[in-house]
Chains A and B, each alone.
Chain A
Amino acid sequence: MRIKILAASAVALCLGFGSAFAAEPQVDRQAGMKAIGGSMGALAAIAKEQKPFDAEAVKAALTTISTSAKAFPDQFPVGSETGHDTEASPKIWENPSDFRAKALKLAADADAVLASAPTNVAGVMNAMQTLGAECGQCHQTYRLKR
């Protein structure tokens, strides 16, 4: 368990340094999206019982989702509409307040799940359904491709 926490902290540190030193918001936000994807994957492995229930892993995944989502509103500044193979839709810059609200809602919902952390597989499934639907809801409007 201690090793896992250490590993998670190391990953979090790397992510933190990554965003501190990277100059390109497109790269930062793509890393954030991938981190959320990885966390959803970790939750799904537990929900599908491919991996045993692990309360710490669940907390780490939820924390990553929350932290990454909180950063999104500032990672789409004017001037970052193109480049780095971005799949961001121009609609983000047409409606920044709605985009911001959707990102912060994902963070708030992840925090809410954390506050009463899931204690079993069913709880993880519920959390996945809530948070997973938000990926699609936001991507429907604000992401090009797929």
Chain B
Amino acid sequence: MASTFTKIVAAVVVAGAAGLGAAYALTAPDPQPESHWANLGNPDLANGEQLFWAGGCAGCHAAPGAEGDALKIMSGGRALPSDFGTFHIPNISSDPQAGIGSWSLAQFGNAITRGVGPKGEHLYPSFPYGSYARLAPKDVNDLFGYLKSLPASSNVAPAHDLPFPFNIRLAVGGWKFLYFDDTPRVALANPSEQVKRGQYLVEGPGHCGECHTPRNALGGFEAGAWLAGGPNPEGEGRIPDITSGSEAIGAWSEDEIVNYLETGFTPDFDSVGGSMVEVQKNIAHLPKSDLEAIAAYLKAVPGR
């Protein structure tokens, strides 16, 4: 007959193992089922290009300083500084070895919407899959088709330069458990079709909240402050509030917001600056109806 002590030890071991198992189950990479990516047919490359610009892929994945057609070569190589270390942006060109040319649609789709890499590993949320999670499967298919139609680059970017404990990919599972959320960021009462389109563009591919929403010490969005602005995650300066209650743009009309996104000029002809320069240039490729939808949505987002 086992002693009381043995029983207690056994109970602790079992509870510990169960706890670890539960912790792993809660934080393991969680790709979509294969069926999610099935039967999507041939990609619509024109729509894929719209998503490419809406998503700002070139803003990170084009070579540093790229302009014009070079913005379509997804060679990677830029360094993205952050509070957690420096991320080196990978090659997502059509190159089968250095890029994503040999990936399946499921691999691409799980990377962009679930933060799960091609080997089933967690990806760091510097890649804004927390926003891209909202992409419709059809849009993912179209974007993947478009990316594969762009030129190949054999550039291999360095590994991320992250200090302990951020260099442990398993820990990203904990971050996802706490903060990964593909539900709407704000509840809108009776949104029009236009506002819904704007919500999709801003919260999904546009990933505007990744900079315009303040974060806590662990990199999660602060509650109740969606698009309310905050310190610049890449360094100096502040990112403005872009809600309807914004000091910076709250007084702008929807037309003025559209004009800013189209031309880079504010209503009083101040110009866009900082990281917003390339964001604006990317967004300017969208059809005017989409810019109008973005403006309508921003006007519907409550101030802090």
Q: Which residues of A contact B (CB under 8 A)?
A: 33, 37-38, 40-41, 44, 87, 89-90, 132-133, 135-137, 139-140, 143-146
CB distance B269 to A136 under 8 Å? no
Of residues 238 to 255 in B, which have CB atoms within 8 Å of A's CB atoms? Answer: 238, 240, 248
CB distance B263 to A132 under 8 Å? yes
Closest CB of chain B to A44's CB: distance in Å?
7
CB distance A135 to B268 under 8 Å? no
Closest CB of chain B to A61's CB: distance in Å?
11
A132-B264 CB under 8 A given contacts A37-B270, A37-B271, A140-B277 = yes
Closest CB of chain A to B248's CB: distance in Å?
8
A139-B277 CB under 8 A given contacts A132-B263, A145-B237 = yes
CB distance A140 to B269 under 8 Å? no
Asked if B33 is at the interface of the complex by the 8 Å CB criterion, the answer is: no
Cα separation A44 to B270 with both chains bound (whole Å): 12
A37-B240 CB under 8 A given contacts A140-B277, A140-B278 = no
Asked if B69 is at the interface of the complex by the 8 Å CB criterion, the answer is: no
Cα separation A144 to B269 with both chains bound (whole Å): 17
Contact flags B257-289 to A (C-beta < 8 A → 1, else 0):
000000111001111111111101100000000
From B238, B248, B265, B273, give the contact of A140 (CB < 8 A): B273
CB distance B272 to A38 under 8 Å? no
CB distance B271 to A132 under 8 Å? yes
9 cross-chain pairs, A with B, having the tightest CB-CB distances, nearest first: A139-B273, A135-B271, A140-B277, A41-B269, A143-B273, A144-B237, A37-B269, A136-B277, A146-B273
* Interface SS, A side: helix
A-B contact pairs, 20 of them (CB 8 A): A33-B270, A37-B270, A38-B269, A40-B269, A40-B271, A44-B265, A132-B263, A132-B265, A135-B271, A136-B264, A139-B271, A139-B274, A140-B278, A143-B274, A144-B237, A144-B273, A145-B237, A145-B238, A145-B274, A146-B273
Q: Which residues of A contact B268 (CB under 8 A)?
A: 37, 41
Asked if B236 is at the interface of the complex by the 8 Å CB criterion, the answer is: yes
Q: Which residues of A contact B236 (CB under 8 A)?
A: 89-90, 144
In the complex, what residue of chain B is closest to A129 when comparing beta carbons? Answer: B263
Cα separation A87 to B271 with both chains bound (whole Å): 13
CB distance A44 to B281 under 8 Å? no
In the complex, what residue of chain B is closest to A87 when comparing beta carbons? Answer: B273
CB distance A139 to B237 under 8 Å? no
Cα separation A5 to B271 with both chains bound (whole Å): 27
Cα separation A139 to B279 with both chains bound (whole Å): 13
Closest CB of chain A to B266's CB: distance in Å?
8
Q: Which residues of B contact A132 (CB under 8 A)?
A: 263-265, 271
CB distance B237 to A135 under 8 Å? no
CB distance A136 to B237 under 8 Å? no
CB distance A146 to B240 under 8 Å? yes
CB distance A140 to B274 under 8 Å? yes
In the complex, what residue of chain B is closest to A136 when comparing beta carbons? Answer: B277
Q: Which residues of A contact B274 (CB under 8 A)?
A: 139-140, 143-146
Cα separation A2 to B268 with both chains bound (whole Å): 27
Q: Which residues of B contact A38 (CB under 8 A)?
A: 269
CB distance A136 to B238 under 8 Å? no
Cα separation A11 to B264 with both chains bound (whole Å): 27
Cα separation A136 to B270 with both chains bound (whole Å): 10
Of residues 64 to 106 in B, which have CB atoms within 8 Å of A's CB atoms? Answer: none
Closest CB of chain B to A91's CB: distance in Å?
9
CB distance B272 to A146 under 8 Å? yes
Q: Which residues of A contact B280 (CB under 8 A)?
A: 136
